[in-house]
Amino acid sequence: NEPVLEIKGLDVDYGVGAEAVHAVQDVHLTLHRGEVLGLAGESGSGKSTLAYGLTRLLPPPGVIRGGEVIYHPDDGEPYDVLQLTPKQLRDFRWAETSIVFQGAMNSLNPVHKVSTQLMDVIKAHDPRSTRASRLARARELLRLVGIAADRLDAYPHQLSGGMRQRVMIAMALALEPRVVIMDEPTTALDVVMQRQILAQLVELRERLGFSVLFITHDLSLLVEFSDRIAIMYGGRIVEQARGVDLYRDALHPYSDGLLHSFPALRGPRRELTGIPGSPPDQRSLPLGCAFAPRCPHAFEPCAGHVPVLGAPADRDDTTRTVACWLHPAEDDATATLSLS
């Protein structure tokens, strides 16, 4: 259970001053070697901001306010991604950690063949490679993601959405990164296609040994495919557990709401409407738990104090953490008592 990426106390804002949006707040999250970690939460909860922040791809006016992102390479000492120079960062991306953006399948260049685009990624990091070796590698990568060699010369518009998504995955894998981040790559695709692509990624992970951070709204997909799941709300991680544990026994009322606002695994897809109320305004966050105003179980401490993410004292399980006053950690339990 060695860590490959450790996010420690990450804070990300959009803008500065009173109007700043606190999109990611004090996030602690660890990705272990070879695991699939799912990240779920409603629209606006900060999932993409977390992914862009940790890879230093935040668009302006995004600013990292604090924290560390410790990367553990296969060989060599761990280092903080937030401290890398622009040159080091270019080497880090694709080769150590690659990211497939939200809506990435539409970001392929329409005027170039998919093989050319794949070969360009390889060339950028290995300028001395021969054209023949790049072509062979592009063919191999496409085969890996289930695209026949006769599609090498296709242009993006000649491929289906699912195939374009596979090309994006092939690109992300081109330099054999240790970490692959997928930001909702499947939103625009139908349910069957989504499952196929995620299943394929999980299988590739087993073969190639990389770790995956998979971001989606669709918790049912994560329950099926990820080892662990982290739930985000209002810029914070509110619960983190093994997929099976979360499914059987979600501790945070928000996780519970998310789970029950989705239909059965293979049922029809619909928008998240199960939790009444709307997400918090991240410019002026409430003093206490951001979910309290929508929470059916809120009681006295919830509105006044932000619960700390920790191992719940009422479960004998060190693999899970939750930030909820209903399930305080050992040391927080005393804090609750002293409040009442």
Q: Which residue carries 């040994």 as its tokens? A: 209
How many angstroms separate the CA atoms of 213 and 168, rounded?
Answer: 15
Contact 10, 41 (CB under 8 A): no
45 binds, among ligand ATP, Mg ion, none (CB under 5 to 8 A by kind): ligand ATP
Binding mask 34-73 for ligand ATP (x = CB under 6 A): -------x-xxxxxxx---------x-x------------
115 binds, among ligand ATP, Mg ion, none (CB under 5 to 8 A by kind): none
DSSP class of residue 18 equals: G
Contact 39, 8 (CB under 8 A): no
Find the binder of ligand ATP among 4, 5, 7, 21 (CB under 6 A).
21
Closest CA to 104 of 48, 165, 57: 165
Closest CA to 181 of 203, 223, 214: 214
**163-166 contacts, C-beta under 8 A, 24 or more apart:** 164/105, 164/106, 164/108, 165/104, 165/105, 165/189, 165/193, 165/197, 166/142, 166/197, 166/200
Tokens of 141: 């990568």
Binding mask 206-235 for ligand ATP (x = CB under 6 A): -----------x------------------
Tokens of 169: 């995955």
216 binds Mg ion (CB under 5 A): no
**Nearest residue (CB) to ligand ATP, 205 versus 236:** 236
Least distance from C-beta 105 to Mg ion, angstroms? 15
304 binds, among ligand ATP, Mg ion, none (CB under 5 to 8 A by kind): none
Q: Which residues touch 259 (CB under 8 Å, ≥6 apart)?
A: 219, 223, 246, 247, 250
Q: Which of residues 249-278 bind Mg ion (CB under 5 A)?
A: none
93 binds, among ligand ATP, Mg ion, none (CB under 5 to 8 A by kind): none
User: Residue 200 corresponds to which amino acid?
Assistant: Q
Binding mask 21-60 for Mg ion (x = CB under 5 A): --------------------------xx------------
**Nearest residue (CB) to ligand ATP, 46 versus 328:** 46
321 binds, among Mg ion, ligand ATP, none (CB under 5 to 8 A by kind): none
Closest CA to 62 of 48, 44, 49: 49
Least distance from C-beta 101 to ligand ATP, angstroms? 10
Q: Which of residues 108-127 bind ligand ATP (CB under 6 A)?
A: none
23 binds ligand ATP (CB under 6 A): yes
The count of chain residues that interact with ligand ATP, using the rule CB under 6 A, is 16
- Which spans of this chain sit near ligand ATP (rule: CB under 6 A)? 14, 21, 23, 41, 43-49, 59, 61, 102, 217, 282
Footprint on this chain of Mg ion (rule: CB under 5 A): 47-48
